[in-house]
């Protein structure tokens, strides 16, 4: 009998080496190489399926591939108009954020319209899933629950049942018997995803995989799953808030700029009709340090309140803290305020918070954050009907941003009248209803301060 062959696989990036190495040659991480058995080339049952043949692109029939609509409108929209047959989807997110809930709702919606859906769970018992479905009021005999970890069994079962959709919850709990390493390891996750990809492509049954995200924000440690699947959706949010955002990071069948906004309710995830209104509902009127930002979540404008608190420090080193906003960007903006506007912030503690648990990663938030800090520092309020947007450069200049019209329209529909926008955006502004709006273009942060204080 031949000896079992092993090699060493990096658990971070999946790079392989024939001998143990302290440092991975692929990603440069230390102590990540783990020994794994090289799987023998076995003939899987999939090999018996008819092999696909190349064909001229003009003869490819797309009309026969209508997308499945899950009925969870925001989910369908993020995918670009529903689930494409044969697609392999990856839905990632922190544990407990609501991935299983979302996919159960999607499964129930698809089951109702298109027939049986196979919901495989390696995490929860059938009873637990039933309790959840009851809570969501999504009971259907077309929803087939399968508690199994062995991927071969799952695929065989799926080939037999021919469901309209397969859901795998989660990829970290699944294993292929040929690989000796534990479920959740890079080798297993990669092998399992590869098998599911072949299954989805060859059977035409769309398959959705749930993946937990590690501390550094990657699905299953490495990003190696992302290139294997057709679409990668991230489900994000702050657990203590009800808001959840579904974003497409990659989408072979649609744009990646769409995002879906949900709120986690007692009866599962609900679509939010007016997120801006909800986000601003508890805003204090006329409090120093509060500024409203028009933020683009993909192609969707959202109004978010930025709050800042600046107070004299009691320590040698002033504290700076940012929640929902980049810390380094906060430090930079404070330096710009100090140097270009002359605010004496060196001995001030500063705290900045984007209300609602959203993570703001857009340059347009620079100016509102800077003005919120200035407002708190001077204890002067900014008119609560003002919306601010603009990127701030190191010389204190205010730079142009995109989609100003969409942002202004969203704010105007909620009754905002005053707008402080980058001067560069002013000339090209095409607004249908300009009447009654007071729009000021500012070229520098000091001009912006003159405009609001």
Residues that bind Mg ion (CB under 5 A): 100
Q: Does 172 bind ligand TYD (CB under 6 A)?
A: no
396 binds ligand TYD (CB under 6 A): no
* Residue 94 marked in a binding site: yes
Q: Is residue 130 part of the contact set for ligand TYD (CB under 6 A)?
A: no
Residue 135 interacting with ligand TYD (CB under 6 A): yes
| Distance (Å, whole) CA 267 – CA 446 | 49
**Residue 268 touches ligand TYD, criterion: CB under 6 A:** yes
User: ω into residue 431 within 30 of 0, thus cis?
Assistant: no
122 is a contact residue toward ligand TYD (CB under 6 A): no
- Our CB check for Mg ion shows the closer of 14 and 183 to be 183
- Among the residue ranges 223-231, 263-271, 366-374, 397-405, the one whose residues contact ligand TYD (CB under 6 A): 263-271
Nearer to ligand TYD, 136 or 323 (CB): 136
- Compute CA distances 422 → 46, 402, 403, 438, 450, whole Å: 58, 10, 12, 14, 14
Measured CA to CA in angstroms, residue 55 lies from 82, 112, 204 at distances of 26, 35, 17
Residue 132 near ligand TYD by CB under 6 A = yes
DSSP 8-state secondary structure symbol assigned to residue 47: G
Q: Is 69 exposed, middle or buried (0-12, 13-18, 19+ CB in 10 A)?
A: middle
User: Looking at beta carbons only, is 81 or 95 nearer to ligand TYD?
Assistant: 95
List the single partner that 101 binds among Mg ion, ligand TYD, none, CB under 5 to 8 Å by kind. Answer: ligand TYD
Nearer to ligand TYD, 35 or 265 (CB): 265
Query: What is the 8-class DSSP label of residue 23?
Result: B
Compute the radius of gyration of the chain from its Cα atoms.
26
If binding is defined by CB under 6 A, does position 18 make contact with ligand TYD? no
Q: Check residue 93 for interaction with ligand TYD (CB under 6 A).
A: yes
**Annotation-wise, does 424 bind a ligand?**
no
All residues at 6 or more sequence positions from 188 whose CB lies less than 8 Å from its CB, including other chains: 174, 175, 176, 179, 181, 182
Among ligand TYD, Mg ion, none, residue 414 binds (CB under 5-8 Å by kind): none
Alpha carbons 130 and 78: distance in angstroms, whole number? 27
Bridge-partner residues for 92, per DSSP?
Answer: 211, 234
Q: Which does residue 217 touch among Mg ion, ligand TYD, none (CB within 5 to 8 A, set by kind)?
A: none
The Cα–Cα gap between 15 and 29 comes to 11
246, 264, 343, 398: residue in contact with ligand TYD (rule CB under 6 A) = 264
Under the binding rule (CB under 6 A), the answer on residue 247 touching ligand TYD is no
Q: Binding segment for ligand TYD among 56-64, 96-104, 351-359, 441-449 (CB under 6 A)?
A: 96-104
Residue 368 found at the interface with ligand TYD (CB under 6 A): no
Q: Is 344 exposed, middle or buried (0-12, 13-18, 19+ CB in 10 A)?
A: exposed
Q: Does 352 bind ligand TYD (CB under 6 A)?
A: no
Task: List 9's β-bridge partners, or say none.
Answer: 16, 34
Least spacing, CB of residue 100 vs Mg ion, in Å: 3
Closest CA relative to residue 190, chosen from 10, 381, 2: 10
Residue 415, helix vs strand vs coil:
coil
Applying CB under 6 A, which part among 70-78, 262-270, 302-310, 361-369 lies near ligand TYD?
A: 262-270
> Binding of ligand TYD at residue 357 (CB under 6 A)?
no
Query: Does position 217 bind ligand TYD by CB under 6 A?
Result: no
C-beta of 109 vs 301, nearer to ligand TYD: 109
* 153-156: long-range contacts, CB 8 A cutoff, minimum separation 24: 154/118, 154/120, 155/45, 155/46, 155/195, 155/196, 155/199, 156/45
Q: Check residue 100 for interaction with ligand TYD (CB under 6 A).
A: yes
Residue 70, binding choice from ligand TYD, Mg ion, none, Cβ under 5 to 8 Å by partner class = none
Q: Check if the beta carbon of residue 340 is closer than 8 Å to that of residue 446.
A: yes
100 is in an annotated binding site: yes
Residue 153 structure tokens: 């069994």
Task: Tell me which of ligand TYD, Mg ion, none is bound by residue 264, counting a contact when its beta carbon lies within the kind-specific cut-off of 5 to 8 angstroms.
Answer: ligand TYD
- Residues in the annotated binding site for ATP: 93-100
- Residues in the annotated binding site: 93-100
Residue ranges that bind ligand TYD, judged by CB under 6 A: 93, 95-101, 132, 135-136, 264, 266-268
């Amino acid at each position: 009998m031949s000896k079992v062959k092993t090699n060493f696989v990096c658990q971070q990036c999946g790079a392989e080496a024939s001998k143990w190495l302290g440092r991975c040659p692929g990603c440069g991480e230390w102590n990540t190489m783990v020994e794994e058995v090289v799987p023998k080339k076995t003939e899987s049952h999939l090999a018996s399926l008819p092999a696909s043949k190349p064909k001229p692109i003009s003869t490819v029939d797309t009309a026969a591939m209508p997308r499945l609509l899950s009925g969870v409108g925001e989910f369908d929209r993020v995918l670009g108009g529903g689930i494409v047959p044969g697609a392999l989807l990856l839905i990632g997110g922190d544990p407990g954020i609501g991935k299983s809930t979302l996919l159960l709702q999607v499964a129930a919606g698809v089951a109702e319209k298109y027939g049986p859906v196979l919901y495989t769970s390696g995490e929860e018992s059938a009873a637990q899933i039933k309790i959840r479905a009851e809570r969501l009021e999504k009971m259907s005999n077309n929803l087939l629950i399968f508690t199994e970890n062995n991927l071969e069994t799952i695929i065989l079962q799926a080939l037999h049942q021919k469901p309209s959709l397969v859901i795998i919850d989660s990829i970290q709990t699944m294993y292929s018997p040929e690989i000796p390493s534990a479920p959740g390891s890079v080798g297993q996750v990669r092998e399992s995803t590869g098998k599911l990809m072949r299954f989805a492509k060859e059977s035409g049954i769309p398959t959705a995989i749930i993946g937990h995200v590690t501390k550094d924000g990657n699905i299953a440690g490495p990003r190696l799953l992302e290139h294997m699947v057709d679409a990668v959706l991230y489900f994000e949010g702050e657990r203590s808030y009800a808001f959840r955002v579904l974003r497409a990071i990659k989408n072979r069948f649609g744009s990646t700029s769409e995002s879906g906004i949900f709120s986690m309710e007692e009866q599962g995830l609900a679509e939010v009709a007016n997120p801006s209104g909800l986000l601003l509902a508890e805003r204090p009127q006329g409090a120093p340090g509060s500024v409203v930002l028009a933020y683009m979540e993909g192609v969707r404008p959202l109004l978010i309140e930025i709050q800042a608190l600046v107070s004299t420090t009691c320590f040698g080193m002033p504290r700076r803290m940012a929640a929902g906003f980049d810390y380094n960007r906060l430090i930079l903006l404070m330096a710009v305020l100090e140097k270009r506007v002359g605010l004496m912030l060196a001995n001030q503690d500063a705290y900045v918070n984007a209300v609602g648990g959203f993570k703001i990663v857009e340059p347009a938030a620079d100016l509102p954050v800077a003005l919120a800090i200035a407002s708190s520092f001077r204890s002067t309020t900014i008119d609560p009907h003002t919306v601010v947007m603009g990127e701030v450069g190191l010389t204190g200049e205010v730079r142009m941003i995109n989609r100003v019209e969409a942002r202004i329209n969203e704010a105007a529909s909620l009754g905002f009248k005053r707008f402080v926008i980058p001067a560069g955006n002013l000339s090209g502004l095409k607004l249908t209803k300009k009447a009654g709006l007071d729009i000021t273009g500012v070229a520098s942060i000091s001009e912006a301060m003159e405009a609001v204080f």
